């Protein structure tokens, strides 16, 4: 189980600046258990966004969002609404947010911060995707996590040592920042990388009730 908490509403609203509409995804797994992204929270955030003048094209609450096959089927069932939305707001842990980012050619916004593994792991089979940093920056990086997927945990662009799109630390894995640049370019959002992300405050992240040590 990945323990998450909902981001401040002002932060979520800020992600939607310049957009007219969004589609919301919630999770009946970990996020429902944490009361951060189950159906009640999805409906609540929908109402709050609409009061702020944002159009919510629709929403779905998936049994386990980090199950890519299941999420693909659920998104397909809402294809028209997803296609019409400017973005997708995902009320789940970091693994779930990245699952939706891989399945949709849309800007994906995080609605939650992942704060603890809770003694378990996400359902992503081939690689670690979320290190429970407690302050999700997936909006900035187009749904690709530089904390979990960059060997150096770099926050402000690639190190310059990658070759052919592969990590210089381990040439068997892709450079997370090359993937980020390619995705943001495809989405027409490359200007997001003009923002400087401050150093991480790891004290907001908890693992088994203890501060994470890096």
* pTM for this entry: 0.90
**Secondary structure (DSSP) of 166-179:** B-SS-TTSB-HHHH
In the chain, domain spans: 1-139, 142-197
**How many Å apart are CA 179 and CA 185, to the nearest integer?**
10
* pLDDT of 103 above 80: yes
Residues 28-70: tens digit of each pLDDT: 998 999 999 999 999 999 999 999 999 999 999 999 999 999 9
Residues 163-186: tens digit of each pLDDT: 899 999 999 999 999 999 999 999
Name, of 50-64, 119-133, 200-214, the range with top average pLDDT: 50-64
Q: Which CATH number does the domain 1-139 belong to among 2.60.40, 1.10.3470, 2.30.30, 3.40.50?
A: 3.40.50
pLDDT at 118: 58
């Amino acid at each position: 189980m990945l323990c998450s908490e909902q981001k401040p509403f002002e932060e979520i609203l800020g992600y939607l600046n310049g957009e007219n509409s969004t589609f919301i995804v919630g999770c009946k797994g970990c996020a429902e258990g944490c009361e951060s992204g189950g159906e009640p929270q999805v409906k609540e955030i929908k109402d709050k966004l609409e009061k702020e003048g944002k159009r919510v094209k629709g929403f779905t609450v998936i049994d386990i969002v980090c199950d890519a096959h299941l999420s693909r089927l659920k998104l397909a069932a809402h294809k028209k609404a997803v296609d019409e939305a400017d973005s997708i707001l995902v009320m789940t842990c970091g693994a779930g947010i990245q699952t939706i980012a891989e399945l949709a050619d849309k800007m994906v916004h995080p609605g939650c911060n992942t704060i603890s593994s809770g003694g378990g792991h996400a359902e992503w089979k081939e690689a670690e995707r979320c290190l429970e940093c407690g302050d999700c920056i997936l909006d900035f990086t187009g749904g690709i996590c530089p904390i979990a997927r960059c060997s150096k945990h770099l926050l402000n662009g690639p190190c310059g040592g990658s070759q052919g799109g592969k990590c210089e630390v381990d040439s068997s894995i892709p450079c997370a920042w090359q993937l980020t640049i390619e995705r943001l370019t495809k989405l027409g959002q490359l200007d997001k990388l003009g923002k400087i992300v401050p150093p991480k405050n790891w004290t907001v992240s908890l693992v088994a009730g203890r501060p994470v040590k890096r």
